[in-house]
Amino acid sequence: MSGGSDKAAKQAQANEEARQRQIAESTAQINGIFDNPSRAGQYDQLARDTTSYYTGQLDDQKALNDRRMRFAMARNGQVGGSVQADLGAQAGKDYLKGVLETTRRGMAAGASLRSQDEQSRANLIAAAQGGLDATSAASQAASALRSNLESSRPAATANAFGDAFGDFASIYQKSQDAKALRDSFNAGLGGWYQPGFGAGATGGR
């Protein structure tokens, strides 16, 4: 009886050792793929691409804001004055804030991809402890890396940048309103200084 029990115990020990070796091999495969230095480069590249994408939006907004402000200053006769200088300084501050935001979004995109990878790694290691063999572990790890990257790219640029120069909206709108008022007045009275403006005073002659 004791001989049979001893044999069963040894077999159980051997099975457990084999299981632990398989877990170690599968885990090593998973970690080797996730820790590949090229993946760190992909985190950095995604961050740069995302920053570049939003910087393009910011630069477009700046160009539009600069153009609108030139028109507004010209309409108000403030070209070259202190008001224009102050607004230029404020626009510069707004742009700098925008640059910081584009950088933040880029870093967030890279960090998000890294987080997805770490979650995938944890899931696969759990699967390895449940019996996933090394070959399957390696294949699934590579697949997870591809899938995470493919989903991260569109997600990183899914949202619009937002109006970086929103504090200038009222200034430009007031300029537009003033222009519309002048145009309306001119259209209704035939112009500010046309002779017809005073025709009623001489119409009885």
- DSSP calls for 118-187: HHHHHHHHHHHHTT--HHHHHHHHHHHHHHHHHHHHHHHT-S----TTGGGHHHHHHHHHHHHHHHHHHH
- The domain segmentation of the chain, as residue ranges, is 2-178
Residue 101: is its pLDDT beyond 60?
yes
Residue 59's CB: how many other CB atoms inside 10 A? 14
Check residue 30 and report its DSSP letter: H
Element of type H or E holding 88: helix 82-129
Half-sphere exposure of 99 (CA within 13 A, CB side): 7
pTM: 0.76
121 touches 34 (CB < 8 A):
yes
The pLDDT assigned to 74 comes to: 82
pLDDT digits (tens, 9 = 90+) for 78-95: 777 788 888 889 999 999
Phi and psi at 147, nearest 5°, equal -65, -40
The pLDDT assigned to 160 comes to: 87
Selected residue with higher pLDDT from 26 and 74: 26
With tokens 């108000």, the residue in question is 76
163 touches 64 (CB < 8 A):
no
CA distance 83 to 74: 12
Check residue 198 and report its DSSP letter: G
Taking CA atoms, 144 is separated from 22, 33, 116, 128, in Å, by: 21, 10, 9, 15
With tokens 């790219």, the residue in question is 153
CA distance 45 to 58: 20
pLDDT digits (tens, 9 = 90+) for 168-201: 877 767 666 666 666 665 565 554 444 333 333 3
pLDDT digits (tens, 9 = 90+) for 53-64: 999 999 999 999
